[in-house]
Amino acid sequence: MKRKLMRGNDAIIAGALLAGCRSFFGYPITPASEIAHAAAKWLPDAGGTFIQAESEIASINMVYGASSTGQRTMTASSSPGMSLKQEGLSYCAGSELPCVVTDVVRGGPGLGNIAPEQSDYNQMVKGGGHGNYKVIVLAPNSVQEMCDLTMLAFELADKYRNPAAILTDGFVGQMIEPLTMPEKVSPPPEKPWAVRGDAKTKKNLISSILLDPDELEPHITHLKSKYDEVEKNEIRFEEYRTEGAKMIAVGYGIVSRVLYSAVDAARERGLPVGLLRLITLWPFPTKKIQELAERIDAFFVVELSTGQMVDDVRLAVEGKRPVHLYTRYGGAVPTTEELLKKIQEKF
């Protein structure tokens, strides 16, 4: 079927299959469990492999192994599980292994609850593991984008030989919406660096250990140059009603869905408000925010956390404009009326 109703978490696996992913290693955790369920159901039918690992730590290291063979592979979890995966994610980045991870964020810290938050922003965008590395982070706000951005994540991971992440939340993961099935992407590129246990790849070595400082420093320099290329080429965002705006709301994920309505309601009341919706959280659209700061009066950042993304907005603005912050957390999502009231208070 070209168009069907689908849950956001299921759309992750639909996109992965269309992108040529053929292995999934995971450990179920609410509210991300449907991703593993869909992988278990659909991957074998596509000739792929699904393994429920004994732990989150095991699953990310299985991803490391599968990626080493050149296969498109992925894992998924929610906040506490992603904390356990951070060491393995650093190893993947250090070994330049492309893979995709999905984090369906839930309330925290600790076990928290299974309601939506955006409190894993720093963990995923800033690098929750050790060392100098970056993960490409995409933030869908719909079931359609859960599919489409997963496909894009695989392409970017292979293009830059780097992990890519889908950072979403329990709301988007659980919502059911119409999904228009995209076309399959081109076959995955050849990977001459992979290890396949044959004579052709016998000399290949996948490793992140470089004991000599004279070896490690150039390797980190190489990684940094790659990240510079990502920042130059892969920033994605959406502008909504920014023409003539004097205040720009900034948000991503489920928050951006509410902000569309809040911006419309504000415009109906004569308030010149627009929206900058972030699609890539890293690379971050610093230049776009700086460009907007030249022609508006203030920013209005909304997050489902106590404030994490707002730090990057403030760094970009460099104190040239006020940056107002409104937050909800613990699983609470603001309403349109709530955000409209806060916007009105700023004018």
CATH number, position 15 = 3.40.50.970
pLDDT of residue 65: 98
Pick from 233, 252, 270: which residue ends a domain? 233
CATH value at residue 325:
3.40.50.920
What's the domain range around 268? Answer: 238-346
Strands (E), the chain: 3-7, 23-26, 49-52, 73-78, 99-105, 136-138, 163-169, 176-180, 237-240, 247-251, 273-278, 280-282, 298-303, 323-327
Q: Which pair of structure tokens corresponds to residue 36? A: 């593993």
Place of tokens 């920033």: 235
Domain co-membership, 321 together with 227: no
Phi, psi of 344 (to 5 degrees): -60, -35
Q: What is the DSSP string of 176-237?
A: EEEEEPPPPPPPPPP-TT---SSGGGTT--------SHHHHHHHHHHHHHHHHHHHHH---E
Domain co-membership, 216 together with 285: no
Domain co-membership, 62 together with 169: yes
User: Closest Cα partner for 43 from 72, 64, 70?
Assistant: 72
Q: Are 173 and 8 in contact (CB under 8 A)?
A: yes
Domain co-membership, 104 together with 197: yes
User: Closest Cα partner for 282 from 136, 153, 145, 174?
Assistant: 136
Q: Which pair of structure tokens corresponds to residue 205? A: 């070595």
Domain co-membership, 168 together with 291: no
The residue ranges of the chain whose pLDDT is under 50 are none
Domain co-membership, 218 together with 252: no
Name the region of 205 (left: φ>0; alpha: ψ -120 to 50; beta: rest). Answer: beta
Determine the Cα angle at 252 with ends 247 and 258, to 5°: 70
Q: Which pair of structure tokens corresponds to residue 23? A: 């292995």
Strand partners, 165: 101, 137
Domain co-membership, 219 together with 251: no
Pick from 233, 268, 301: which residue ends a domain? 233
pLDDT of residue 66: 98
Cis peptide before 334 (omega within 30 of 0): no
Domain co-membership, 145 together with 265: no
Domain co-membership, 178 together with 300: no
Domain co-membership, 189 together with 203: yes
The whole-angstrom separation of Cα 79 and Cα 214 is: 37
Domain co-membership, 105 together with 174: yes
Q: Are 331 and 117 in contact (CB under 8 A)?
A: yes
Amino acid at 264: D
pLDDT of residue 1: 58
The whole-angstrom separation of Cα 28 and Cα 52 is: 8
Domain co-membership, 242 together with 229: no
pLDDT of residue 187: 85
Pick from 184, 201, 233: which residue ends a domain? 233
Q: Are 32 and 175 in contact (CB under 8 A)?
A: no
Q: Which pair of structure tokens corresponds to residue 218? A: 């150039």
Domain count of the chain?
2
